[in-house]
Amino acid sequence: MPVDSKKADTLEVAGRKLNSRLIIGTGKYETYEQNAQAAEAAGAEMVTVAVRRVNLTDKDKPMLVDFLDPEKYIYLPNTAGCFTAEDAIRTLRLAREAGGWNLVKLEVLSDQKTLYPDMEETLRAAKLLIKEGFEVMVYCSDDPVYARKLEDVGCCAIMPLGSLIGSGLGIMNPVNIRLIVEQSSVPVIVDAGVGTASDAAMAMELGCDGVLMNTAIAGARNPILMASAMKHAVMAGREAYLAGRMPKKRYADPSSPLAGLI
């Protein structure tokens, strides 16, 4: 929360108010228990989840819902692994039936090697989903033109990649992220590519409304400690953005007065 404002600094997506601007994934953790501890340490209120076949042979496998309570966390079903609009729509219809809500994360990928979003298919899927009443938070490239098109068709959050999913390379094109932030009237959330706390802070300093990450936390040596680091980084970056940074200068500017120098 900004120090100079009494108003709570909340992230509002599709009518839902979140105090935390950090959204976390629930993949790649050693156990769901560790996942739950990380979510707690991150202060997350929204988590992404995948839709997969129920295991019919091993029904005693632990279930996500037993560790991350859908009453406590907003489940954001994703379309990870979908390479066509049709696959994504089919997955999200099932998600809506399973969960009973319309808020979803759309991602339509192009190839296994880069998992780069296929923007033509993403835009097509977004239009169809919105027609069916879904509220679509959309994973996209950092192309401001496509970001605008996605907003124009009614997506409720624009989620450009910082860099490739699971790469931890950070924000490769801060200029584009900034352009997307400036032009968007819905929340902009950097999704994918964050590797460490400074990347998350950078996203927030650029004016993003939130950050979504999975591997940066799950893949850390100590995921729970990293979750806490990310919480602080997102808050620090947000406050720095609201505070307005000092201008950059080419030369030194002494902090101590020159007058009275002996």
Partner 1 sequence: MDITINGEKKSLDGPLTVAGLLSVLALETRKIAVERNLEIVPKSKYNETALSGGDKIEIVQFVGGG
Residues in binding site: 166, 192-193, 214-215
Q: Contact between 29 and partner 1 (CB under 8 A)?
A: yes
Q: Contact between 80 and partner 1 (CB under 8 A)?
A: yes
Residue (39 or 179) nearer to partner 1, CB:
39
CB of 29 to partner 1, least distance (A): 6
Q: CA of 213: how far to CAs of 23, 25, 164, 229, 248, in Å?
A: 7, 6, 12, 13, 30
Q: CA of 153: how far to CAs of 118, 138, 139, 186, 248, in Å?
A: 17, 11, 14, 12, 38
- Interface pattern 216-245 for partner 1 (x via CB under 8 A): ------------------------------
Closest listed residue to residue 193, CA positions, set 222, 178, 213, 173 = 213
* Of 1, 32, 84, 101, the one binding partner 1 by CB under 8 A: 32
Q: Contact between 30 and partner 1 (CB under 8 A)?
A: no
* Of 12, 17, 33, 52, the one binding partner 1 by CB under 8 A: 52
Q: Is 149 a catalytic residue?
A: no
Alpha carbons 115 and 118: distance in angstroms, whole number: 9
* Of 3, 4, 7, 56, the one binding partner 1 by CB under 8 A: 56
Alpha carbons 157 and 173: distance in angstroms, whole number: 19
Annotated binding site for 1-deoxy-D-xylulose 5-phosphate: 166, 192-193, 214-215
Q: Contact between 93 and partner 1 (CB under 8 A)?
A: yes
Residue (165 or 229) nearer to partner 1, CB:
165
Residue (179 or 213) nearer to partner 1, CB:
213
* Of 14, 50, 128, 164, the one binding partner 1 by CB under 8 A: 50
Which of 7, 105, 127, 149 is labelled catalytic? 105
* Of 2, 10, 17, 94, the one binding partner 1 by CB under 8 A: 94
236's enclosing H/E stretch is helix 223-243
CA atoms within 13 A on the CB side of 59: 1
E-only strand ranges, 85-181: 103-106, 135-140, 157-160
Mark the segment that binds partner 1 (CB under 8 A) among 57-65, 151-159, 168-176, 200-208.
57-65
Alpha carbons 165 and 195: distance in angstroms, whole number: 10
Q: CA of 101: how far to CAs of 94, 116, 138, 150, in Å?
A: 11, 27, 16, 21
Find how far residue 242's CA is from the centre of its chain. 19
Task: List phi, psi (to 5°) of 206.
Answer: -75, -10
Binding interface with partner 1 (CB under 8 A): 25-29, 32, 35, 48-54, 56, 59, 63-65, 70, 75, 77-78, 80, 90, 93-95, 97-99, 165-166, 214-215
> Which residues are known catalytic residues?
105
